[in-house]
A and B are shown apart, each in its own frame.
Chain A
Amino acid sequence: MSPHPDADSTPVPRRPSLAGDYRRFTRRRRLLLIGLAVAALVALVLDILTGPSTFPLSRLLLGLFQPDQLERGEAVILWDIRLPYALMAVLVGAALGLAGAEMQTALNNPLASPFTLGVSSAATFGAALAIVLGLDLFGLGETYAITLLAFLSAGGATLLILALARLHGAGVETVVLFGIALLFSFEALVWLLQFLADSDALQQIVFWTMGSLARAAWETVAILAVILAVTMVFALRNVWSMSALRSGEDQARSLGVPVERLRLAVVLRVSLLAGTAISFVGTIGFVGLVGPHIARLLLGEDHRFYLPGSALAGALMLSLASMLSKTLVPGVVLPIGIVTALVGVPLFMMLVLGKRRPR
């Protein structure tokens, strides 16, 4: 990636300045990161602009700043439908992208994603349990009960992994194997619940599992935004140790990185991010796996850029997917999970093939 020293126009050609290289390295990445942010922002605006009804940009801007000027129907479309859906797409994409990036580093596995440790199947189990039992927590209504149980179940699964890892040491293998064991156990439990459920509940479980942004509301958007901000701060505090971990566990250890504690902290953050996102919108796969790869291809392994880059790549992907899910068959809601893969794969392949091109 870095330019050859010969191409450099430094006044002292015999001593290529390491500091200069480094400055160029960071500047280039900073620019790419800004570019990614701009792309995500553009995608967000486009997402807000698309829908089955025509909403000219001028009306939209007017509505954003002077909601009273809109007609009632327009106001509902803008403030109750388009904005929460579009913001939810960005937030869920960013949360899953960040979670996936951290997971891939912590487990030293390019196939890891927020769902690897059974977070998603645990959340599904929680939701299915709430649906089958018809839980209605403190009169809050079934919706909240489903969300809460999904989240608690995902959190519980993570705590279980952490507890087991404490007993056995948090080696990559231990954590991954526990995670896989949990994944299959929860899947089996969900199937059992589906078998026991009556048809309405069964349908509800299936619907819940197929993610949908249409569940977005302002409260859930706000909660996810706060959680994303907080975990991002904690993640960014660890970027140097994470970058070190990427060059090998032993190497990181020799640099004084507390690898196991780092790994457990990552698991906790990932399950918080993914658990919240899933409990609000259901399972949306793929973003958490491919978002980090896109960021890595663009920005490399330096976690100062890689982590925010993954979040932005995830946000970009899901925003585009959300826009596309509205335009492919106007008027009909396509499950976002289907479209996500359709958007993500070409984007991903383009980058992979671009990298392979001989320079």
Chain B
Amino acid sequence: MYRHPSSTRRPAGKLTRAGLLGLAALIWGVTVLAEPTDLAGREIDLPGKVDRVLLGEGRFLVPTSILEGEEAIDRIVGMQGEFKRLDPAGYTRFRAAFPAVDEIPRVGRLNPSSFSVERALSMAPDVAFFGLEGHGPSPGDRPVIERLEQAGVTVVFIDFRHDPLTNTVPSMRLMGEVLGRQEEAEAFISAYQREMARVDDGLAEVETQPDVFLESRVGLREECCETMSNGMLGLLVERAGGNNIATDLLPGSHGLVSLEYLLSHQPDIYIGTAIGSKNDKAHNGHIVLGAGVSEAQARQSLDVTLQRRGIREFEAVKNGRAHAIWHHFYNSPFNVVALQAFAKWLHPEAFRDLEPAETFDRLRARFLPYETTGTYWIKQR
């Protein structure tokens, strides 16, 4: 994902030499000049001091707290307001550890269009972390970025969503660099890469590639079947050694697959993503997962959704190969845990010794300064 500007400046022809020179320049640029590039390929001028930080998405509090530990919100002067609304259970847990999070001024609500530049500027941030896509300003929101930069705010793009498994490491490294938490960042990165390697090791002995259907945000819309294809959790399916059957149908990151198609091209494995939380009254047709959710609650909600018209006819459902995953892994540095859960579902034999739950416990205990116990994935009864 790195696109260094110097690589576009190199002259045409003499490809190999120029390419090598460009590569050398790039490495030199990144390492020696300490002029990092962000995930949107922009060169970053690191400010002398970073005392005031603005978050373009409230859920960036999770990677921030991985790096800052007990000082998770000390430098946060403003943030987008979506965390509390999209992941209320997660937010409640965060607030339990950091009650002052409620007092952090919100610079917007749920959508990029609700982001108020004026309010953001009034917080006088030194740095603003924005995502490549999602619920806050993105690289396409030029006026927002230009105004912030004119006011001397360093805008840094990170990404846990567009291409989660590729971009988590560079995003954490970049955040570590900007916040002066390189050590913490490297510690997380090496743990993350170790967990990633365990998946790759397991896949080395795998020969089959089961067909997987990932139903996104189960219960959100009445008609079936929203899915993620070339983006977000859709990419995790492929990385876990599966064939995401939506990938060839939908070129974008998500879309609707017809129920009849699924019935006539049966997936081996069904995975639904859960947007329900403990306080979801009567489940509303959602699958309930996340902080504070018990296994029984989760399983019951999954069983109900598997009884929907058409879905109950899936071979995967009849064969007990239906699962659900917490939806917010799609935008979290802990996405490697979801990858392990997928890998184990797709290849139970190859990953019989892998315990994603232990991985999650271990990572959270070591890196997360607050407690988020609950049920984050569930297998059909």
A residues near B (Cβ < 8 Å) are 51-54, 72-73, 76-77, 80-82, 134, 136, 141-143, 198-200, 202-204, 207-208, 212, 214-215, 217, 326, 329-333
Tell which of B135, B284, B313 touches A142, judged by Cβ atoms closer than 8 Å.
B284
Q: For residue A81, which residues in chain B have a CB less than 8 angstroms away from its CB?
A: 259-260, 263, 310
Q: For residue A208, which residues in chain B have a CB less than 8 angstroms away from its CB?
A: 221
Tell which of A72, A141, A143, A333 touches B258, judged by Cβ atoms closer than 8 Å.
A333
Q: How far is the CA of A134 from the CA of B280 in the complex (A)?
A: 10
Query: Which residues 249-300 in B have Cβ within 8 Å of A in the complex?
Result: 249-250, 255-261, 263-265, 275, 281-282, 284-285
**Is B263 within 8 A of A214, CB to CB?**
no
Tell which of B85, B217, B222, B260 touches A51, judged by Cβ atoms closer than 8 Å.
B260
Q: Which residue of A lies closest to B226 (CB)?
A: A207
Q: How far is the CA of A204 from the CA of B255 in the complex (A)?
A: 14
**Is A329 within 8 A of B249, CB to CB?**
yes
| Chain B: number of interface residues, binned into ranges | 20 to 34
Q: How far is the CA of A220 from the CA of B279 in the complex (A)?
A: 31
Give 7 pairs: A residue, B residue, CB < 8 Å, sorted on A. A51-B264, A52-B261, A53-B265, A72-B313, A198-B110, A332-B249, A332-B261
Tell which of B250, B255, B281 touches A136, judged by Cβ atoms closer than 8 Å.
B281
Q: Report how many A-B pairs have Cβ atoms within 8 Å.
A: 93
**Is B313 within 8 A of A73, CB to CB?**
yes
Q: How far is the CA of A77 from the CA of B259 in the complex (A)?
A: 9
**B96 at interface (Cβ–Cβ under 8 A)?**
no
Q: For residue A80, which residues in chain B have a CB less than 8 angstroms away from its CB?
A: 309-310
Q: For residue A143, which residues in chain B have a CB less than 8 angstroms away from its CB?
A: 222
Nearest chain B CB to A282's CB is how many angstroms away? 10
B residues near A (Cβ < 8 Å) are 82, 85-86, 110-111, 135, 217, 220-224, 249-250, 255-261, 263-265, 275, 281-282, 284-285, 309-310, 313
Tell which of B86, B249, B256, B260 touches A53, judged by Cβ atoms closer than 8 Å.
B260
Q: For residue B217, which residues in chain A have a CB less than 8 angstroms away from its CB?
A: 200, 203
**Is A204 within 8 A of B221, CB to CB?**
yes
Q: How far is the CA of A51 from the CA of B217 in the complex (A)?
A: 25
- Which of A82, A208, A329, A332 counts the most chain B CB atoms within 10 A? A332
**DSSP class of B's interface residues: helix, strand, loop or mixed?**
loop
Nearest chain B CB to A278's CB is how many angstroms away? 14
Nearest chain A CB to B114's CB is how many angstroms away? 8
Tell which of A52, A76, A134, A203 touches B265, judged by Cβ atoms closer than 8 Å.
A52
**Is A204 within 8 A of B263, CB to CB?**
no
Q: How far is the CA of A186 from the CA of B331 in the complex (A)?
A: 35
**Is A332 within 8 A of B256, CB to CB?**
yes
**DSSP class of A's interface residues: helix, strand, loop or mixed?**
helix
**Is A73 within 8 A of B110, CB to CB?**
no
**Is A136 within 8 A of B258, CB to CB?**
no
Q: For residue A329, which residues in chain B have a CB less than 8 angstroms away from its CB?
A: 249
Q: Which residue of B lies closest to A202 (CB)?
A: B110
**Is B135 within 8 A of A331, CB to CB?**
no
Q: For residue B82, which residues in chain A have a CB less than 8 angstroms away from its CB?
A: 199
**Is A332 within 8 A of B257, CB to CB?**
yes
**Is A331 within 8 A of B224, CB to CB?**
no
Q: How far is the CA of A208 from the CA of B284 in the complex (A)?
A: 16
A331-B284 contact, Cβ under 8 Å, with A202-B110, A215-B222: no
Q: For residue A333, which residues in chain B have a CB less than 8 angstroms away from its CB?
A: 223, 255-258
Q: How far is the CA of A333 from the CA of B224 in the complex (A)?
A: 9
Q: How far is the CA of A215 from the CA of B82 in the complex (A)?
A: 30
**Is B284 within 8 A of A52, CB to CB?**
no
**Is B264 within 8 A of A73, CB to CB?**
yes
**Is A53 within 8 A of B221, CB to CB?**
no
Q: For residue B260, which residues in chain A have a CB less than 8 angstroms away from its CB?
A: 51-53, 77, 81-82
**Is B264 within 8 A of A214, CB to CB?**
no
Q: What are the 4 closest A-B residue pairs judged by CB atoms, nearest first? A: A53-B264, A214-B223, A52-B261, A331-B261
**Is B257 within 8 A of A331, CB to CB?**
yes
Nearest chain A CB to B229's CB is how many angstroms away? 10
Q: Which residue of A lies closest to B286 (CB)?
A: A200
Q: For residue A330, which residues in chain B have a CB less than 8 angstroms away from its CB?
A: 261
Nearest chain A CB to B101's CB is how many angstroms away? 18
Q: For residue B221, which residues in chain A have a CB less than 8 angstroms away from its CB?
A: 203-204, 207-208
Q: For residue A331, which residues in chain B have a CB less than 8 angstroms away from its CB?
A: 249, 257-258, 261, 265
Nearest chain A CB to B265's CB is how many angstroms away? 7
A76-B258 contact, Cβ under 8 Å, with A136-B281, A199-B85: no
